[in-house]
Structure 1
Amino acid sequence: MRRWAEFMLAHRRLVMVFWLVVAIAGAAVSGPVSERMTTDFALPGEPGGKTAEQITETFGNGGYTAPYLVTVSYPEGRTAAGDQAGVAAAFANIRTEVPNVRILDQANTGDPAFVTKDGRTAYAMVFFQYDTSATAKIPTDDVRRALDTAKPPGTTIGVTGESVLATGSESEGPGVLIEVLIGSIGALAVLAFVFASMLAFLPLIIAAASILATFLLLLPLSELGTFSALVQFLIALIGLGVAIDYSLLVVTRWREERHRGVSNHEAVVIATRTAGHAVVFSGVTVAIGLLALLVLPVPFMRSVGVGGALIPLASVAATLTLTPAILGSVGPRWDWPRIRREDSASRSWSRWAALMVRRRWIAAAVSITALLALVGAFAGIRIGMASSDSLAKSGPAHETLATLERGGVTTGNLTPIEVLTSTGEARSAAAELGTVPGIERALVPGDAASNRAGTTVVVLIPDEETVNSKTVGTVEDVIDRAERTPGVLGVTGTGTAQIDFLNAVYGNFPMMLALIALLTYVLLVRAFRSLLLPLKAVLFNLLSMGATFGMVVVFWQQGIGSEVVFGISETGAVTFWVPLTVFAFLFGLSMDYEVFILARMREEYDASGSTTTAIVRGIGRTGRLVTSAALILFLAFAALASSPGTDLKVMATALGFGILLDATVVRSMLLPSLVSLMGRWNWYLPDWTARILRVEPSRPVAVPPEPDPAARTPVG
């Protein structure tokens, strides 16, 4: 790291020019890269996925895609039964005006249940073609326009469905650029407090360079495969927080050395050798958590893993090259005005660390109890999709759904089950599957749009939405019965998508968890030259993750807080892809702070030989830094939570809460108390392990008895 810093300083002008070119190129390609991203959540190879593909190829619509529910409502005194021809013509016009749709209504199924119990509203199910391009829009406006054009005189029309309700409102949200701007303003406010000088702008420059570099790195990869549209949000907002955190660590250490009287050149070298070393291990740890997603047989999760792993790698690259170059050139001039000095540790954080050492048993017990209480809530998690009640509380889609519900139409119509059958046995299969408990009725449309190539799509309507691991049981019963029913070729729908995901992803989760834990442990053993510290870090990081998911259950699934903060009622479940994405990101991000703190503790222990001194000085030097870094990441996630989609809000709040929990309870209380309890065994690394990892062995040094932390706190 010293040689690296010397090289960066010797070529600092070239380094800055290089990053200027990278930033310009990254800005130029960010748009095209975003346009190549998709919203495809397909699960190829799974039973439901295979049937969904077959239906999509044969009929041009449906599959995993939940349909629209479109309505025609008559005024008081008129009924849909008195104008069946007008209703049928209005729905038929959708087929004429919107390509690749399949419609089920009373006209082609003969089912009178397509009229509400008051007789005033008729509705139809519209299965549409789902364009997975990130820039494509679902055909809601086209469907509404076609229905409005042909509606009977004096009637009102409505369009609802899972995809329409999921936006939460008619607004499309602030967009990625606005969210980044919001996060940047919040980060600048925190950085201004930390540095109280013009240096507050430096981490933002590093973040901008790393975000644009990530898009540039993603360009050739997007030629080789598809990437989820979720990646662009993660690059912009998590990239913002991570890059700022890494740069903040290096700049703070540089400033500390400068305020001690060290020359600018040597201060940059020391900061790169110490803080830069921690940044490398931290970045690799984050990347490991994300690359572990590659073991999952789901394309969009793999794309999140690859795209997400580029974020810490680009941030590390920018931090270890551009930061030394700028500090070596204009750093001293930017450290103005010098309102705050860094030549001594924070007295308040040092006193806090001393308190945690002195009351280590109490601190450990309180923090572990708090974490376990939240882990207990995690045991009640339901995996699935957000219920319709939580998707939208106002707007035309919500009003249309409310009209249907008042008319006795169940919300199971939002998540129908599609059964692909041979045409000759469609009616017998429908009669058999319609008797499965939890199925309200079975529909066999007679038009050409639902009968092609000798196959027919039978549609089953469940009693309630099949949106989570509890209500999806009806779908499992249908699949089980279908396997014994002649003429059935496959079952699909939103419910089968959840079952396929649970089988394909969560069945492989133990392997993913073991891989992440093992690689992280080995990496941290090498970083800290200790067997015990990395083990503690990994185990309690997992405990922190469980507590975070417990908060998600309480806040979102049970709705204790979501209504107050976001105006969204309980979701009833956590969307199936959210826990894994949160885990992959949060495991590495929260480990950042462990690396920052323990790296400084290791340094202080090597200098003093005292565990207590290492804890107090380590926390004293990193406490404000870690708190500020966590706050910056939290603000980035708060910006992400401003997106209109409920799923993104759930993911963003989970990441934000996890970061705050980790920086407060885990790193400020649990870490110092446990390190104090483990004493000199924290620093043990046997010879054989050191030889394998190619580092120096470590043995606890023989020192006088540990000083009483109640005495005067060392702050130097």
Structure 2
Amino acid sequence: MARFLGWLGGWCARHGRAVLALWVTLAVAAMGGSLVLGSPVSTEVSIPGTDAQRAHDLMRDGFGPGFQPGGTVQLIVYSPDGPLIEEPRKGAVEDAVANIREQEHVKEADSPFRQGGIASNLQIGVITVRLEGHDSSKVAENTQRISAAAEPARDAGLEVVANDSSTPADKEIKTGPSEIIGVICALLVLIFAFGTLTAALVPIFTALVSVATGLGVIGLLGHVMDVPKQAGIMATMIGLGVGIDYALFLLSRYRRLLASGLPVQQAVRGAVSSSGGAVVFAGGTVVIALTALMFAGFPLLATLGWITGISVVMAVLTAITLVPAQLGLLGHGVNALKVPFLGRRPESSGWTALGMWVARRPWRVLVGSVLVLAALAAPALSLKLGTLDDGYGAHGSEPRRAYELMSVGFGPGSTGPLTVVASGRGEVTEAAAERLADRIGDLGGVAHVAEPKLNDAGRAAMIQVIPDYPPSDPRAADLVREIRTFDGDGLEVHVGGEVAALTDAADRLTERTPLVIGVVVLLSALLLLLAFRAPVVAIKAALMNLISLGAAFGALAAVFSFGVGSGLVGMDPPVNASYVQALFFSVPIESYVPLMLFAVLFGLSMDYEVFLLTAVRQAYLKHGDNARAVAEGLGSTGRVITSAALIMVAVFTAFIAYPDSMVKTFGVGLAVAIAVDATLIRGFLVPATMVLLGRANWWCPRWLDRLLPNLSVEGHEEEPAPPVRADRPRVGAGA
């Protein structure tokens, strides 16, 4: 691998203009194609084999498109000046309904003046619009068009708010403030780390090309498959972080080799043959962790995982090709445009001193680090999982306002109704459906049961149930499970809807989580075993990553489950909350977020482990002194890893300002985990354990050593030798 990467880096450096032009062309073509052709996303969430999915399929097959999930839009009408049933307000609402009925794809538009369409206070009503023949991925677009058709009601002084399945992220994804803030913060860190503007711009440019190409590919994939709406923002978040970091590692090695007196071509080849291998393995661990989500039994997570992995693959490819191309073109000019007061400083003295300090007292450092990390992880035991409904949205957003009006007018359960679908082997009679509706109405926690509807074939009945509880209340999930126990009159009872689907998702993920964790840990450990030919190092690295995950989940629990400053990250509390309530506003975390976060964090944490271990192993192979090798490895990588971690923390923290709650959760978890990983774990815990293990770190049974291929991650054999004389470098030394 080292020989191949060295050849690839040298070739790209010699043909820098061609490689640069190729990548820019790919990025422009991919992004241009996705902008011209569009980037379709899917809002449909299927969980094969679950009861909610069975209910969804019965609704789709038996009741027509107007009753399918995603085929209905609600407009909530609020009259602040008096009852809706009085003129001229009533006439304005009827005009709005007539206008909506003329819109494209509208099959039915029910007036709020029908039975059950007006709240008891007579000031809030619901216009229910059923659609047919529309693209379910364009729910937000269709809703905006239908909402605009209700202008006659707004002209009469009424408030009309659309309630659909779109999120603020659907509407804000093109504005990019979080991305811009993250890039600016990363640029500042790079300028401080390198002291020159030219060197700082190389990783930024590389990451932007990588992210643009990845997003373009993901956008085009939406034309041939279902791409989750979260895929773009997740790919941007992860792609920016790893894209800048991978380029940073190569650039740092190149500048060191250049400073040692090597010619440009040889320095580029040496940087790519050594650090390039670590980049490939680090990226491989991230991709493995993300693709392992296919074992979760949740198609949304599986697709989201491997699509996000596209951005990581692009980051690796640009690092080992575009970076050497830029370095070949810049040569010694990479150190141009020096920034005042940021002159060249010793890179390793402080970190080497820390490594030697740890090596002299490994037991004390080990115990102290474990205690601190245990304290950080302790809140994770109380992590609160649940459904995140629109009541947790940003103040002033349409989903939040619609939630508040529906809750006030029709009860909190109206924001997450249950859809009960009963089917039988033969015909389902109206009497049997009504008896089932009566039984459901007698349950505790049921606020309202609508009249049953039979499908055209008479083989299924649909009953809408309004709980007493909002979707985020765990009692709503308990009600779903209780209704599913009914089996009267030979009917099979299935429960669908948002609450039921999320309940099934939580149950499925709880069942599959141990499998996913086991696959990720084993495959990552196997990759490290192939890289370093050291079983102890591979197992230890996997365990260290699990420890950093504990700290991340502890931070999530503190912020969201205990509400320590959740208002500060943009999770808006109720309107009338006091300052103390706002500061300690508890927010549930969606059940699928921890598993997705585990996969991403495990892969990212492995990046720093790979770079630290390669440096320690390189030093150990030179002189065989384990403690000294640990100190030297920490000294040579400490500043680079710290800079890389600061960049990732800055990028992830910037995304906390993003309007989508899932992105906020990822921003907090990723930022805390990377910060802990690069300081406590890589600076103290890993060096302490490696000093205590001694030669056992690099022990490998002979039979295993014969079986493993020699991949040489850091390319020790391939690293170019220094020139014979500094003033007369050898010609062709990089060949």
3-state SS of 2:308 partner: helix
Of 357-366 and 193-202, more deviation after overlay is shown by 357-366
Paired residues of 1:72 and 1:155 also in contact (CA < 8 A): no
1:663-678 matches, cutoff 5 A: 663-678=678-693
What is the aligned partner in structure 2 of residue 580 from structure 1?
Answer: 595
1:283 and 1:696 mapped to 2: Cα distance? 15
Report whether the alignment pairs 1:428 with 2:435. yes
Alpha-carbon shift at residue 594 of structure 1 (Å): 0.8
Q: Pick the aligned partner of 1:563 from 556, 567, 571.
A: 567
**2:485 paired residue among 470, 480, 485:** 480
- Which of the numbers 646, 650, 654 marks the counterpart of 1:631? 646
Paired with 2:465 and 2:22, the residues of 1 have a C-alpha distance of 57
Equivalence for 1:381: 383
Aligned residues of 1:417 and 1:461 also touching (Cα < 8 A): yes
CA distance in 2, matches of 1:71, 1:321: 54
Partner of 1:121: 124
Counterpart residue type for residue 545 of structure 1: L
1:247 aligns with 2:262: no
Work out the CA distance in 2 between the residues paired with 1:402 and 1:234.
29
Residue 44 of structure 2 aligns to a residue in which SS? coil
* 2:620 aligned residue: 605
CA contact (8 A) 2:13 2:325 kept: yes
- 1:42 aligns to 2:46 (yes or no): yes
Q: What residue in structure 2 maps to residue 519 of structure 1?
A: 523
**Paired residue type of 2:654:** A
Q: Residues of 2 paired with 1:445 and 1:102: CA distance? A: 18
Mapped to 2, the partners of 1:270 and 1:518 lie a distance apart of: 31
What is the rounded CA distance, in whole Å, between the counterparts of 1:488 and 1:395 in structure 2?
39
Q: Which amino acid aligns with 1:634?
A: V
Residues 586, 470 of structure 1: CA spacing in aligned structure 2 closer, same or farther, 3 A cutoff? farther
**What is residue 687 of structure 1 aligned with on the other side?**
702
Distance (Å, rounded) in 1 between the aligned partners of 2:355 and 2:660? 41
Q: Return the letter of the residue paired with 2:655.
A: L
Contact 1:283/1:312 (<8 A) preserved: yes
Would the aligned equivalents of 2:92 and 2:152 in 1 still touch at CA under 8 Å? Answer: no
1:118-141 per-residue CA deviation (whole Å, 9 max, x = no partner) reads 444344666667977666525443
Output the CA distance in 2 between the equivalents of 1:101 and 1:651: 39
Show the counterpart of 2:581.
none
Q: Distance in 2 between matches of 1:338 and 1:105?
A: 69
Counterparts of 1:45 and 1:538, CA distance in 2:
33
2:263 aligns with 263
Partner of 1:712: none
Instruction: Supply the distance in 1 between the matched residues of 2:199 and 2:394 (Cα, whole angstroms).
Output: 43
Deviates more, 1:495-504 or 1:370-379: 370-379
> 2:17, 2:329 within 8 Å by CA — same for their partners in 1?
no
SS of equivalent residue, structure 1 residue 175: coil
Aligned to 2:327, the other structure's residue is in SS state helix
SS of 1:480's equivalent?
coil
Specify the alignment match of 2:716 in structure 1: none
Give the C-alpha shift of residue 429 in structure 1.
1.8
- How far apart are residue 226 of structure 1 and its match? 2.5
Change (3 A) 1:588 1:366: same
Aligned to 1:704: none
Q: Structure 1 CA distance, aligned partners of 2:439 and 2:269?
A: 75
Identify if the C-alpha distance between structure 1 residues 201 and 411 changes in structure 2 by more than 3 Å, giving closer, same or farther: same
Shift of 1:591: 0.9
Contact 2:77 2:159 in 1 (8 A): yes
For residues 80 and 219 of structure 2, what CA distance do their matches in structure 1 show? 55
In structure 2, relative to structure 1, the CA distance for the partners of 1:338 and 1:145 (3 Å cut) is: closer
Amino-acid identity (%): 26
Letter in 2 for 1:233: I
One-letter identity of the residue aligned with 1:432: R
Q: Find out whether 1:28 has 2:29 as its counterpart.
A: yes
Q: Is the 8 A contact 1:286 1:588 kept in 2?
A: yes
Structure 1 Cα separation of the partners of residues 130 and 563 of structure 2: 31
1:416–1:288 Cα change, 3 Å: same
1:216 positional shift: 6.1
User: Which stretch of the first structure deviates more once superposed, 259-268 or 119-128?
Assistant: 119-128
- How far 1:473 moved relative to its partner? 1.3
Secondary structure of 1:334's aligned partner: helix
Q: 1:227 to 1:142 in 2, by over 3 A?
A: closer
**Shift of residue 609, structure 1, vs aligned partner:** 1.6
RMSD: 3.5
1:192 deviation in Å? 0.8
Matched, 1:149 2:152: yes
Q: Which one-letter code corresponds to 1:441 in the other structure?
A: H
Does structure 1 conserve the Cα–Cα contact (< 8 Å) formed by 2:163 and 2:398?
no
Which stretch has the larger CA shift, 521-530 or 98-107?
98-107
Question: Which secondary structure state, in structure 2, belongs to the residue aligned with residue 384 of structure 1?
Answer: coil
How far the C-alpha of 1:638 sits from its partner, in A, is 2.9
Q: CA–CA distance in 2 between the matches of 1:79 and 1:176?
A: 38
Task: Give 1:300's aligned residue.
Answer: 300
Q: 1:548 aligns with which of 548, 552, 562?
A: 552
- Paired AA for residue 200 in structure 1: A
Partner of 1:502: 506
What secondary structure is seen at the aligned counterpart in 2 of 1:507?
helix
Over residues 51-101 of structure 1, what are the superposed CA-to-partner deviations in whole Å (9 max), with x where a residue is unaligned?
213324533245555976644445566574999986994785487245456
- Asked whether the equivalents of residues 12 and 19 of structure 2 are also in contact (C-alpha less than 8 Å), the reply is no
Aligned to 1:183: 182
Map of 2:676 onto structure 1? 661
* Residue 347 of structure 1, CA deviation: 1.9
Q: What residue identity is the alignment partner of 2:632?
A: R
Query: Which residue identity is paired with 1:299?
Result: P
Q: Within 2, Cα distance between the matches of 1:32 and 1:65?
A: 28
Q: Does the CA contact (< 8 Å) of 1:235 and 1:311 recur in 2?
A: yes
Q: Structure 2: how far apart are the matches of 1:186 and 1:605?
A: 36
Q: Deviations over 1:198-250 (max 9, x none)?
A: 21111123223322443565578556532223222233332122121111111
Equivalent residue for 1:418?
419
Which whole-Å deviations, capped at 9, do the CAs of 1:262-296 have from their partners, x for residues lacking one? 33333223222321121121111111111112223
Counterpart amino acid of 2:439?
Answer: E
**Judging changes above 3 Å, is the alpha-carbon distance between structure 1 residues 397 and 286 closer, same or farther for their aligned structure 2 residues?**
closer
Q: 1:66 touches 1:161 (CA, 8 Å); kept in 2? A: no
In the TM superposition, what whole-angstrom CA distance separates every residue of 1:314-356 from its partner, at most 9, and x where no partner exists? 2222212222233234231221256778795422222222333
In structure 2, give the amino acid aligned to 1:528: F
In the alignment, is residue 437 of structure 1 matched against residue 444 of structure 2?
Answer: yes
Aligned to 1:352: 354
Name the residue aligned to 2:370: 368
Cα pair distance change 1:682/1:176, threshold 3 Å = farther
Cα distance in 2 between the residues matched to 1:223 and 1:319: 29
Residue 234 of structure 1 corresponds to 234
Residues 648 and 121 (structure 1), Cα distance of their counterparts in 2 relative to 1, 3 Å cut: same
Deviation of 1:404 (Å):
4.9
> Does 2:606 align with 1:591?
yes
- For residue 140 of structure 2, the aligned residue among 137, 142, 148 is 137
Query: Shift in Å at residue 579 of structure 1?
Result: 2.1
Paired residue secondary structure (2:484): helix
Residue 154 of structure 1: how far off its partner (Å): 6.0
Q: CA deviation at 1:592?
A: 0.4
What's the TM-score, normalizing by structure 2? 0.84
Identify unmatched segments of 5+ residues in structure 2: 423-427, 574-584, 713-735
TM-score scaled by length of structure 1: 0.86
CA offset at residue 301 of structure 1?
Answer: 2.0
Q: Counterpart of 1:420 in 2: which secondary structure?
A: strand
Letter in 2 for 1:355: W
1:458 aligned to which of 463, 486, 511? 463
Indicate how the Cα distance of structure 1 residues 300 and 634 shifts in structure 2: closer, same or farther if over 3 A, else same: same
- In 2: Cα distance, 1:175 partner to 1:453 partner: 45
Q: Which runs of 5 or more structure 1 residues have no equivalent in the other structure?
A: 698-716
Distance in 2 separating the partners of 1:82 and 1:222: 48
Structure 1 segment 382-401 matched on structure 2, within 5 A: 382-395=384-397, 398-399=400-401, 401=403
Q: Which residue of 1 aligns with 2:199?
A: 199
